[in-house]
Structure 1
Amino acid sequence: MSDRRDEGMATRRRVLGDAHVDRAEARTTAFDAPFQEMITEAAWGHVWSRAGLSLRDRSLITLALLAAQGSDEEVAMHVRATANTGATPEEVMEAMLHVAIYAGVPRANHAIGVVRRTYAEMGVEP
């Protein structure tokens, strides 16, 4: 294993939590192992582990980008990760307002529904 992968795995666990990462690792097959290795090293090791932005800031940027793409499951996963990154519900809503202006009201409206449901599942009152 590379140092970048090790650093990526540590950051991935810090952001998503051990339980989530353990479930993902347990579901990994020979078919998707190359993808798991790539995202651990590239996304988590090369980008999320950089010192230029806080995990909170990266969390908000990621949520806005995922919402703009309509990636519901990923939005929900990264809303759950805010418990680890420190992004508040108020800050997440600010990110969704940016999505509305720069990616469109329908995308933001839909993502806000995903965010609300995810917070409800987490027992968080936004």
Structure 2
Amino acid sequence: MIVNSGSAKWEGGLKDGKGHISTKSGVLSEQPYGFGTRFEGKPGTNPEELIGAAHAACFSMALSLILAGEGITDVKIETTSEIGLDKEGDGFAIKTAHLTTKISGNGDPSVIEECAHKAEKGCPVSKVLNAEVTLDVTVV
């Protein structure tokens, strides 16, 4: 099993607090996030855009594998994943992930489209959006 990770640090309350996000690889290192970047469109990152980027990347990779299996060559894929955060009760929930993709390649367009629908359901990030979540807690 391949295991990768991301981490976050947070200090303060929801609206006045500040956080930093990092990844195991170091590609993201102490990138700031907070209420303003998540809910008010201020500069910085937020969890939903990171999920969207991961989803678009995963889908594109899965699609390239499926297309290769169908003999489609000279593939170019551009994908966006819009992640919808909705108010739910006293909190929020991610309710939607909408992929938009533009694909070019040498092959039957209907086969390419069919492959895209397979990747939509089969990429690991699409699957994780319905994953079992577990938790270990340490209170210090």
Q: Tell me, yes or no, whether TM beats 0.5.
A: no
- Name whichever structure is richer in strand by fraction: 2
**What TM bracket, shorter-length normalisation?**
0.3 to 0.5
TM-score by length of 2: 0.33
Q: Work out which of the two has the higher radius of gyration on C-alpha atoms and give 1 or 2.
A: 2
- Larger RCO, structures 1/2 (Cα 8 Å, 6+ apart): 1
